[in-house]
């Protein structure tokens, strides 16, 4: 199956629907180009269906990372005064930080 065969299945209505879901405003020219691009992408996906994967173990993560777990152990503890001395800004006995959403701190 080539990209041209997939383009027959990819309609302007489908592209408009995907664009709407993606909140994209596409011109008519962009819709036509998206039909070609998406058709090519789906054609490539169809080619992957032909790959023989028998004997290949399923992969849940490409690097084979393992969770490293350790016990929580109490270490050196800072006093409140030590923490406040290291803070860039202090208000009373609290660390002063800028507001995240609007306004000044």
Supply the pLDDT for residue 7: 41
Tokens 């306004």 -> residue: 103
Who contacts 35 (Cβ-Cβ below 8 Å, separation ≥6)? Answer: 7, 10, 11, 12, 15
Supply the pLDDT for residue 32.
Answer: 95
pLDDT at 4 (0 to 100): 45
30 exposed, middle or buried (CB, 10 Å; 0-12, 13-18, 19+)?
middle
Give the pLDDT confidence score for residue 103 in this predicted structure.
63
Domain boundaries defined on the chain: 3-49
Compute and round to an integer the Cα radius of gyration of the chain.
Answer: 28
| pLDDT for residue 3 | 45
Residues linked to residue 91 through DSSP beta bridges, in sequence order? 94
Please give the pLDDT value at position 80. Answer: 94
Which residues of the chain fall below pLDDT 70? 1-8, 103-105
pLDDT at 10: 86
CATH topology (fold) of 3-49: Histone, subunit A (1.10.20)
């Amino acid at each position: 199956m080539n990209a041209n065969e997939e383009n027959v299945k990819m309609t302007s209505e489908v592209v408009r629907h995907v664009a709407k879901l993606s909140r994209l405003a596409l011109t008519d020219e962009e819709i036509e180009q998206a039909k070609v691009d998406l058709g090519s992408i789906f054609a490539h996906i169809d080619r992957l269906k032909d790959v023989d994967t028998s004997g290949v173990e399923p992969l849940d993560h490409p690097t084979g990372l393992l969770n490293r777990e350790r016990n929580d152990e109490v270490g050196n503890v800072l006093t409140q005064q030590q923490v406040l001395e290291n803070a860039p800004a202090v208000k009373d006995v609290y660390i002063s930080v800028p507001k995240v959403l609007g306004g000044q701190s």
